[in-house]
Chains A and B, each alone.
Chain A
Amino acid sequence: MSALSQTAVELRRAAVEARSRWSSSAWLSLGALVVAAVVPFLSLPGVRVDALANTAYLALAATALGLIVGPGGLPSLGTGAFMAIGAFTSGLLVARSGWPLEPAALAGAAAALVAGLLTGGVVRLRPAFVAVSTWLLAWLVWLFLLAFPSVSGGAQGLILPPKSLLGMNATPTVHFEVALGLTALIALAVYALRRGAPGLELSALRQAPALAVSLGVRLERRRLAALAFSAAVAGLAGGLSVQLQAVADPNAYDPFLSFKLLVAVLLGGAAATLGPAVGVALLGLIGLVSGPLARLLQLPLERFDAAVAALLLVFVLAFGGEGLLPWALRYVRRPKPWTRRAVAAPARTAPGPNDPVLAAHGLRKAFGGVVAVDGFELELRRGETAALIGPNGSGKTTALRLIAGAIPPDAGGIELDGADVTAAGAADRVALGIARTLQTMSAFPELTALQNVLVGRAPRRHAGGLVRTGLATPRARRELQASATAAFEALALVGLDQVAGAPTLELTTSQRRLVALAAAIATEPQVLLVDELAAGAGPDELETLAEAVERIRERGVAVLVVEHNLRLVRRVADRVLVLRAGAIVAEGSAAEVAASSVVQEAYLGKARL
């Protein structure tokens, strides 16, 4: 079969799928798009087409901003700055170098993208620092434009000659239709991103960053890509809209523009793809009403633009910050009951030969003056379950974090399958095959059980990037499907396939533990590190957990459990390692270890009763 016919098959399947998913909100969106498209031809009183076109460009920028604010939880206060960068790059190329508008606008988008990448390193820090750095950028760009009249054209601004847009005379109406079309396209892409891997992983990073990273999600890459995407779209919007005004005026891009866009996103609702666009339209409507009102009352109401935006925002936040569209949609769309899916029993991989898979040599870690782990040696074989026990403070969790790569060791090394992985970070090690469940924060509260497990597919995704997902390429769609199947299998392995669609918050504590285990399994590990799985578990729960661990081992995974619950240890462990003061002091079967005097000493001290 040729690639072409394969694509055709894929497209047909996509069409069928789309038709089956064609919901009331899709019809509503299409209707709104058609209505919006004819507005400039209606010559409504008081509505200027250039203002409409400008609003449509703002909606374009806001739609992309919605991705990082909604799923990403990264509040950007600099979208206006990216628009300004796009606008003045494009404006200078058109006015000084005589470029046509389209390539100039694309160059503007590229410049904004670079600015986004350069300032986006802060995504490694707390989300608040995205706000800090974009806030600085917003002021920097504006101050720069004011301080350098040679770039910004000074007091009268940068004057732009009339140009054509897509082969047409660039009238405000053409600008409006182009902006509307681009907004629709970007909204489709954002919709695909929200439903696909990037949206899921951004959302996981927002809810519990450490858990997401422990499942192999690349925090920096995901967040930076999303930030750069929104910057580039803002740059494109700026690069095109600048020609509309015929003059690039620095004061049109003061930091308030950035704030207004964030307000629009929150007002319309960042949780819905079209929320930001609705928010921009609402702010535009308010502007439409306040103009005549100001004239009527003879008040300088334009000056209160900022105050109105601020008040609206406070109002929205006071009502939970959900925004208008998601709030309205709750009344349109009833929650679908989650459907059970039949699934074949998970294929069991034959337990591999019992060769060593993981080796740790001479690991040492000190926190300040406290030596947590020192001279730690460990060898794990495929298909075995080892348990690491020891009194509080003996360094169990630290040893696990060292093996998982959450913290770097001061000395010593770790080998996986004979290859040195000491230098690899946490997310890289998950991709290599070392997964870990965390002691606390076992699940992402806003996701369903299946989505939780899907996050664990992060290291096995190869076509789940921003570009492929945004364009909904056949490969990305296939992978999304395959990921869902694999996640479902992982859930089935721990016996939770019946509650796949249930929201995490409705699950019991023990079900959440199993979800965490399934998510770790979904990463397809060779080595699974399990931290305090049974903390606070009752006897029934213990049995379920033990069964799950055994089924995982049967797949040939080497399992290392850190456990206080000695019943679970006796139940699952082939081998028990006793840790004391950061080093292993005894090793053997559960019975042997229990009888060992070293162990009794480790737990109870020398002076035994």
Chain B
Amino acid sequence: MTIALQVVISGLAAGGVYGLFAVGHSLVYRLTGIVNFAFGDLVGLGVFTTLLVLAGTSPVSQSGAHEPRFLLALVVGLVVCVAAGALTYVGLVQPYLSRGSTIGWVAGTAAVAFAIRAAIGAVFQRSSYVFPDPLPFHDVGTAGFVHVGGAQVQARAFFVAGLAIALALGSAWFLDRTRHGQALRAVADDQEGARFVGVPVDLAITLAFAGVGAVAMVAALAAAPGEAVNANTGTLLGLQGLVAALAVRFGPPLRAFAAGLVLGVVEAAIANVHLGGWQLGPSYSQVLPIAFVLLLISLRPSQGALEERE
């Protein structure tokens, strides 16, 4: 029971971040019909830019974490993330979309992904870095851990899970209730129709393409101090988000977010749960869900959104 609680809470924290990536993937697919292979890396770029402004390239640092410098670093990171996302869309996605070239945008976004990974790897050459913590979580409980019903849980996990859920609900509210959100939904439903009634379609899509990166980046930053980060961190988050989004076939935002939460809990369960002395272990936690979703879309491709139309 105690382990179950631990699994659920830490799983929800990781899953909340996956969920926001899933929301991003899903929204971008619904708006444009593309899958952004650089999504995770664009967020990674923002996270590492923040780290660079905050602490330079030294491997471990708590310096500057509490200062206004963190705010500056956060803003610079967000701006870089959003700008890079917008540039990717305008330069490498939109031209090929309008030309109807799938290979163009697939190769283009993959190129951005690998270029960003290479750039991060060139500046941050160590195999892992510790992200300085702007919030004093290590003062909470015993060295950052709190006891809940006998289980030891990182205090940060509550914060990350809560923040992710708030961001997801906020995004859903934005799409549902605000004028801009409704414009985006109109674009997703019928691009030509939306254009006809005066929605600035290209601008809306560009902003959404870049904006989902900013939302995901905030969640990734909140989770970042929890474990070591490297150039693969963003890529893998993007990958998990894609896995979750695929599992619900690029469904509506809250469903994609829920899929992310489930993915997080499943991963934590695979890594930690013993069943009668039998345990899969952490090695399986990352690969099993990917393999499952890969087989799922291959053996049971859905009708509808993913299918080719006449």
A-side interface residues toward B, CB under 8 Å?
69, 73, 75, 77, 118-122, 124-129, 131-133, 135-137, 139-140, 143-144, 147-148, 209-210, 256, 259, 262-263, 266, 300, 303-307, 309-311, 313-314, 317, 321, 406, 438
CB distance from A136 to the nearest CB of B (A): 5
Neighbouring B residues of A262 by C-beta, 8 Å? 107, 110
Asked, given contacts A75-B102, A129-B306, A131-B37, whether A309 binds B114 with beta carbons under 8 Å apart, the answer is yes
Q: Are A209 and B287 in contact (CB under 8 A)?
A: no
CB distance from A127 to the nearest CB of B (A): 5
Neighbouring B residues of A259 by C-beta, 8 Å? 110-111, 114
Q: Are B298 and A122 in contact (CB under 8 A)?
A: yes
Neighbouring B residues of A126 by C-beta, 8 Å? 33, 102, 306-308
Neighbouring B residues of A122 by C-beta, 8 Å? 297-298, 301
Q: Are B290 and A314 in contact (CB under 8 A)?
A: no
The stretch that binds A, out of B8-16, B68-76, B118-126, is B118-126
Q: Are B121 and A321 in contact (CB under 8 A)?
A: no
Neighbouring A residues of B77 by C-beta, 8 Å? none
Write 14 A-B pairs (CB below 8 A) sorted by A numbering: A119-B295, A120-B298, A128-B33, A128-B102, A131-B106, A140-B291, A143-B286, A210-B310, A262-B107, A306-B115, A307-B118, A314-B92, A317-B92, A438-B310
- Asked whether any CB of chain A lies closer than 8 Å to the CB of B35, the reply is yes
Q: Are B295 and A310 in contact (CB under 8 A)?
A: no
CB distance from A432 to the nearest CB of B (A): 20
What 3 pairs between A and B have smallest CB-CB spacing?
A121-B298, A310-B111, A306-B118
| CA distance in complex: A303, B123 (Å) | 10
Asked, given contacts A313-B111, A314-B92, A314-B108, whether A128 binds B34 with beta carbons under 8 Å apart, the answer is yes
| CA distance in complex: A187, B282 (Å) | 43
Additional 13 contacts, C-beta under 8 A, given A128-B33, A148-B283, A313-B111: A124-B308, A129-B301, A129-B306, A131-B37, A135-B37, A136-B290, A136-B293, A139-B290, A259-B111, A262-B107, A304-B118, A311-B111, A317-B107
- Asked whether any CB of chain A lies closer than 8 Å to the CB of B161, the reply is no
Q: Are B106 and A303 in contact (CB under 8 A)?
A: no
Neighbouring B residues of A256 by C-beta, 8 Å? 114
The stretch that binds A, out of B148-156, B212-220, B239-247, is B239-247
| CA distance in complex: A118, B300 (Å) | 11
Q: How many inter-chain residue pairs (CB < 8 Å) link A and B?
A: 141
Asked, given contacts A139-B239, A262-B110, A317-B108, whether A118 binds B287 with beta carbons under 8 Å apart, the answer is no
| Those of B255-310 within 8 Å (CB) of chain A | 282-284, 286-287, 290-291, 293-295, 297-301, 306-310
| Those of B36-82 within 8 Å (CB) of chain A | 37
Q: Are A147 and B243 in contact (CB under 8 A)?
A: no
Neighbouring A residues of B310 by C-beta, 8 Å? 210, 406, 438
CB distance from B18 to the nearest CB of A (A): 14
CB distance from B115 to the nearest CB of A (A): 4
Quick one: which of B104, B114, B283 contacts A306, CB cutoff 8 A?
A: B114
Q: Are B298 and A133 in contact (CB under 8 A)?
A: yes
| CA distance in complex: A132, B245 (Å) | 12
Asked, given contacts A118-B298, A137-B294, A306-B117, whether A125 binds B306 with beta carbons under 8 Å apart, the answer is yes
Please give me the residue from chain B that is nearest to A117 by CB atom.
Answer: B298
B-side interface residues toward A, CB under 8 Å?
33-35, 37, 92, 96, 101-104, 106-108, 110-112, 114-115, 117-119, 121-122, 236, 239, 242-243, 246, 282-284, 286-287, 290-291, 293-295, 297-301, 306-310
| Most interface-central of B34, B114, B301, B306 (chain A CB within 10 A) | B114
Q: Are B35 and A132 in contact (CB under 8 A)?
A: yes
| CA distance in complex: A144, B287 (Å) | 6
Q: Are B287 and A133 in contact (CB under 8 A)?
A: no
CB distance from A128 to the nearest CB of B (A): 5
Neighbouring B residues of A266 by C-beta, 8 Å? 103, 107
Asked, given contacts A136-B239, A136-B290, A306-B118, whether A118 binds B295 with beta carbons under 8 Å apart, the answer is yes
Quick one: which of B106, B287, B294, B309 contacts A77, CB cutoff 8 A?
A: B106
Neighbouring B residues of A305 by C-beta, 8 Å? 118
Please give me the residue from chain B that is nearest to A321 by CB atom.
Answer: B104
| CA distance in complex: A75, B108 (Å) | 11
| CA distance in complex: A121, B294 (Å) | 10
Quick one: which of A73, A140, A317, A438 contacts B287, CB cutoff 8 A?
A: A140
Neighbouring B residues of A129 by C-beta, 8 Å? 297, 301, 306
| CA distance in complex: A119, B291 (Å) | 10
Neighbouring A residues of B236 by C-beta, 8 Å? 139
Asked, given contacts A303-B121, A306-B117, A321-B101, whether A263 binds B107 with beta carbons under 8 Å apart, the answer is yes
| CA distance in complex: A128, B93 (Å) | 13
CB distance from B116 to the nearest CB of A (A): 9
Q: Are A119 and B122 in contact (CB under 8 A)?
A: no
Quick one: which of A125, A136, A406 contacts B307, CB cutoff 8 A?
A: A125
Q: Are B92 and A73 in contact (CB under 8 A)?
A: no
Q: Are B115 and A310 in contact (CB under 8 A)?
A: yes
| CA distance in complex: A485, B294 (Å) | 43
CB distance from A280 to the nearest CB of B (A): 16
Asked, given contacts A121-B298, A137-B294, whether A132 binds B96 with beta carbons under 8 Å apart, the answer is no
Please give me the residue from chain B that is nearest to A70 by CB atom.
Answer: B103
Please give me the residue from chain B that is nearest to A126 by CB atom.
Answer: B308
CB distance from B196 to the nearest CB of A (A): 21
Neighbouring B residues of A310 by C-beta, 8 Å? 111-112, 114-115, 118
Q: Are A136 and B242 in contact (CB under 8 A)?
A: yes
Q: Are B246 and A132 in contact (CB under 8 A)?
A: yes
Quick one: which of A136, A148, A321 contacts B294, CB cutoff 8 A?
A: A136
| CA distance in complex: A504, B103 (Å) | 23
CB distance from B275 to the nearest CB of A (A): 20
